[in-house]
Amino acid sequence: MKTTERLGTLALIGIAVFLATSIAAQFLRGDLDWTKVPNSFYLIGPYGWMVRTGYVAMSLALAGVATGAYLALSKTARSAAPLLLFVVAGIALSVTAFERTPIAGQAPTFEGYVHGVAAQTAFLCTVTAMLLQAWRLRGDSRWKRWFKPAFLYASACFILLWVLALWRELPRGSSQKLLILLIAGWLMLAAYRLRRGPDSMAPPEASVVVP
């Protein structure tokens, strides 16, 4: 198995752990309204350790996708920008997991400030890295057929991120979790493609009939 395939497999596992723990928390924490409460609130209180485990798994998955994509592309198509952004996003996500989120009605804390900045950094760096990584697919003849779907999908996530940032009246819980699911979906598809390679779903060549 190639290094890129291993990285894709590990990233898929990390993303699956993140989704499993986050979704499980929605059912286990009946005291929280999932439509109103952002995902960060599940990091504190009962089962917080489980959700933190998922965040760390996703941090490793981001690094796996970043490194795998960098190695999979030809040297002329590679760029350090998405690689670095994914890594920064992973670090920020781990910080988010272990710094307590600010709670309404309580006095602001430095820990809460760090949590908020780290969470915003993780979102922005991840979505921007997705866009840049998708754009780089154009420069590799083996991967360019995946440029359009990957870029359009990443663009939708980027737009939704800014809609959530500017439209404060949206339900914070359900809208944020929708964005998280979409981002996780893009990353899962990227990890799957790394595991399978660019040509595993290529259309069959037309047969040539020789008279």
51: its two tokens: 């959700």
What confidence tens digit (pLDDT) does each residue in 53-77 have?
A: 999 999 999 999 999 999 999 999 9
92: its two tokens: 């920020």
Compute how many other C-beta atoms are within 10 angstroms of the C-beta atom of residue 177.
19
- Sequence spans of domains, the chain: 3-196
DSSP category for residue 32? S
Question: Is this prediction's pTM over 0.75?
Answer: yes
Predicted confidence at residue 206, as pLDDT, reads 34
Residue whose token pair is 């592309």 = 73
Predicted confidence at residue 143, as pLDDT, reads 94
Residue whose token pair is 């998922």 = 54
Angstrom distances, CA of residue 27 to CA of 23, 46, 62, 89, 182: 7, 12, 26, 27, 20
109 backbone dihedrals φ, ψ, rounded to 5°: -130, 160
31: its two tokens: 């005291």
DSSP labels for 121-166? Answer: HHHHHHHHHHHHHHHHGGG-TTTGGGHHHHHHHHHHHHHHHHHHHH
DSSP-derived 3-state class of residue 67: helix
Output the tens digit of pLDDT for each of the chain's 211 residues: 689 999 999 999 999 999 999 999 999 999 999 999 999 999 999 999 999 999 999 999 999 999 999 999 999 999 999 999 999 999 999 999 999 887 766 778 899 999 999 999 999 999 999 999 999 999 999 999 999 999 999 999 999 999 998 988 888 889 999 999 999 999 999 999 999 987 755 434 333 333 3
Alpha helices in the chain (DSSP H): 3-28, 48-72, 80-98, 110-136, 147-166, 172-196
